[in-house]
Chains A and B, each alone.
Chain A
């Protein structure tokens, strides 16, 4: 029977829907799987490894040995600040002595001269040579080939260092970087007891082995030793990855839901075309159970085949995407795991059972009398209730797939609400359009128009369903083109290309005016100087704070160190108060970052006591703030009103943007104010933006598939009523309708439907976009005029095209044949 129905043609559409659905789901899932694995791996590049161990004294031998014993790669580095000398010039350098296999993740990049094109370095510096950051080259006047002295050893400058993956993690390195070979370290005589030196151990390898080692090593960490992984190390990187995963999850969700709609529409057409056949089988004694069995088996067979083909196609497609995007992704993707195939298969089966079975069940209910009276046993209009099981199962699956209940529910809720609202509004709008005075006046002049508009009212229910389906598909298309672009733009703006690339530290209160003047005189936008007071947390609600009170490593570290406190009257523009309200000037109140409050167990209303030097002050927490870590701006965990902190010794810090032409001015700044520390974060910013771009590219490609699924829904919605329209046109022609009347009436009807569908879709896309932007991505999305033009126009164009194609089909077929076919 499958083969027979296949030849009949109806199943092909359905199978195509299922294949495309599963293919798009699996290719999205495969690709998303690979991309997110690549993202996690790439993020590790910012650490230089999967796991970084940092100590203020040399590492116990057993820890280093354990890394090797567990089959993990190991690299080492020693960091310290020292004076580098070349001829007459001398300057502080941030020395990093590394083993030659550093870094384990990512690559160092070097160039033969400042501003020359760079390329990745295959290994660290050779013995006896050093690599210098560009700033150091110019400060020392030591180009490649020159010699420089470090402690008591002499080195040759071998390359200009252009990128150090780990650099972002060390924003506050005061001095420009100098790379050397670890084995040369003893010769310098710089590492002595009491020197301020950091010892780094890097580990990388299979995730399971890394995790196991992490657990093992954590128990052996002594005072002054800590461990950084992706979770603890880089809040701004984690934020980017979480957002990327939200985007990819959303895309997969949309593809799956759209596929469900397409399959429901396709099955309905199949059922309509099989009613007669079923009636005949019922006539010849087939029981209801037998019919259900027959068609159930046929659909399952079809489903299995289509799912398998879909998975295979999905796999091929993701390979092709990866190949096509290889250059764009700038990173090799790890091979996909088999999980997405399983996921695709499961989604396919759920789609088939949930959306094809309910209409299919109607086939078994066809009364045998239909053989005589064709009207008997016509399929009931599909209600939401019919699809309840399917929708529920799909929702569960999608939430699981999205891995984020909030995102899943937002999309499903929005989609469900859209279906109901679309159908209701479409019904009302179509009746309204057909009854509008303008339509009546136009109709008086043209029969075709009058007939088309009258059809809008007559077909109101059927048309409303079609308009709602169209609007859904179109919503997805708009969401994935215009709204997506707007979201991506908004996202890009949140880490803008003019993000600050310099940190200025240690400005004394009496230098603030002079520094501001310095910037103004050189035409650089004056940086906002934020006061910073260093204080240690001593008590919470009067109870003294001890490091041992906290279980979490990050909490211990935070409590152990001095806090950077700031004071201001207004909440920083890039911070968002998420609980309580911003303090009033002069109040004894604090505003605290919500993440640190959570880590340290602080709650609104808690009284915190800090000691600054020999003095203490206390204040209550009255607001919690959310920070944008990826904004590259200066952020403070704790902010107090000026009155509370202004009398304490403070220095000022700032983040600002300087371009290449300001380089000389900045060198002058260092000379004029030798106590200031100027940190070049350009490299780190570039690196973070590289990741963001990488993510955007991946997301955009993945969106194409969901777009395909959206178009499939559009197509299914359009062909769903094609049979009926053809027959109607044939009857019209029999009763004397001219070509113009047939095409004109269809055009009028389709145009109105397109306008309503386009407008609804625009509304839907704009609403969902806003909802996503605010609730999920925490972005501001300005309204898009392009969307409001493109939405309705696309609706009208699409249905005009359909009207044209449909009229051509109708007019090219003999009405006698069409009518005979439909008997």
Chain B
């Protein structure tokens, strides 16, 4: 459902991240289909999937995946530039201010703390106003305090933009904040 938050939980190796990659069309399945925004992902070719992702999907990774050679601002501008948006600069500045990094626009990732980097990653994920946001252990690399702040921000942005959130996590506390919890074991949904 639009605006819903779903947690995928399970032990390591249970297939959480693989499921996430399949949902985004980053990997192709040996069997089965994924429907996203009315389209069967695996009937689309690679470029069409990329186009759909660019339009409808946001990503947050455990390891942030910021590009080290780009500043905070440029990292956030990346998806906008790829979509050919002319307002990339202003939109990116706006959302970075929203996540509290207005003063850190021209810093490179290596000069930002872990929490700040994940906030840049959140800004990058939400800047295109995606219909679906996929988050892979978004607090996995952060200390408790920064993790908490990032989660607050994540749910706040989720509410504001009406994005559907799919969250992969180990953290039961975090999972409990989602409307729905899917449990995986050995690649199968068990609950």
Q: Please, which residues of chain A bring their CB within 8 A of the CB of B74?
A: 454, 458
Q: Whole-angstrom distance from the CB of B94 to the nearest CB of chain A?
A: 18
> What is the bound-complex CA distance between A737 and B124, given in angstroms?
14
A454-B110 CB under 8 A given contacts A374-B63, A733-B50 = no
B81 & A454 in contact (Cβ 8 Å cutoff): yes
Q: Whole-angstrom distance from the CB of A682 to the nearest CB of chain B?
A: 67
B46 & A741 in contact (Cβ 8 Å cutoff): no
Mask for A728-757, Cβ within 8 A of B = 1, else 0?
100111111111110000000000000000
A735-B47 CB under 8 A given contacts A458-B74, A728-B67 = no
- A459 at the binding interface (Cβ < 8 Å): yes
Closest to B81 in A: A451
Closest to A461 in B: B69
A739 & B47 in contact (Cβ 8 Å cutoff): yes
Most buried by B among A372, A451, A454, A815: A815
A736-B83 CB under 8 A given contacts A375-B109, A462-B69, A814-B26 = yes
A447-B81 CB under 8 A given contacts A728-B67, A814-B26, A815-B26 = yes
Q: Please, which residues of chain B bring their CB within 8 A of the CB of A814?
A: 21, 26-28
Q: Whole-angstrom distance from the CB of B146 to the nearest CB of chain A?
A: 11
Mask for B36-78, Cβ within 8 A of A = 1, else 0?
0000000000110011111101010111010111110010001
A734 & B84 in contact (Cβ 8 Å cutoff): no
Closest to B117 in A: A375
- B166 at the binding interface (Cβ < 8 Å): no
A739 & B69 in contact (Cβ 8 Å cutoff): no
Candidates B67, B71, B79; contact of A736 at CB < 8 Å: B79
- B24 at the binding interface (Cβ < 8 Å): yes
A736-B63 CB under 8 A given contacts A447-B81, A450-B81, A814-B26 = no
Q: Whole-angstrom distance from the CB of B138 to the nearest CB of chain A?
A: 14
Q: Please, which residues of chain A bring their CB within 8 A of the CB of B84?
A: 447
Closest to A376 in B: B110
- What does DSSP make chain A's interface, helix, strand, loop or mixed? helix
Q: Please, which residues of chain B bring their CB within 8 A of the CB of A462?
A: 69
Q: Please, which residues of chain A bring their CB within 8 A of the CB of B63?
A: 374, 822-823
- A373 at the binding interface (Cβ < 8 Å): yes
- B14 at the binding interface (Cβ < 8 Å): no
> What is the bound-complex CA distance between A374 and B78, given in angstroms?
22
Q: Please, which residues of chain A bring their CB within 8 A of the CB of B83?
A: 447, 736
Most buried by B among A373, A734, A820, A822: A734
B78 & A731 in contact (Cβ 8 Å cutoff): yes
Mask for A800-823, Cβ within 8 A of B = 1, else 0?
000000000001001111011011
Q: Please, which residues of chain A bring their CB within 8 A of the CB of B50?
A: 733, 736-739
A735 & B79 in contact (Cβ 8 Å cutoff): yes
Candidates B52, B59, B79, B110; contact of A378 at CB < 8 Å: B110
- B3 at the binding interface (Cβ < 8 Å): no
A724 & B78 in contact (Cβ 8 Å cutoff): no
- B114 at the binding interface (Cβ < 8 Å): yes
Q: Please, which residues of chain B bring their CB within 8 A of the CB of A447?
A: 81-84
Closest to B53 in A: A736
B26 & A739 in contact (Cβ 8 Å cutoff): no
> Footprint of B on A, CB under 8 Å?
372-375, 378, 447, 450-451, 454-455, 458-459, 462, 724, 727-728, 731-741, 811, 814-817, 819-820, 822-823
Of all A-B residue pairs in the complex, the 9 with the closest CB atoms, nearest first, are: A736-B54, A816-B21, A816-B26, A735-B79, A375-B110, A738-B47, A823-B63, A736-B53, A447-B84
15 A-B pairs with C-beta separation under 8 A: A447-B84, A731-B67, A731-B78, A732-B82, A734-B26, A735-B54, A735-B78, A735-B124, A735-B128, A736-B50, A814-B26, A815-B26, A816-B26, A823-B62, A823-B63
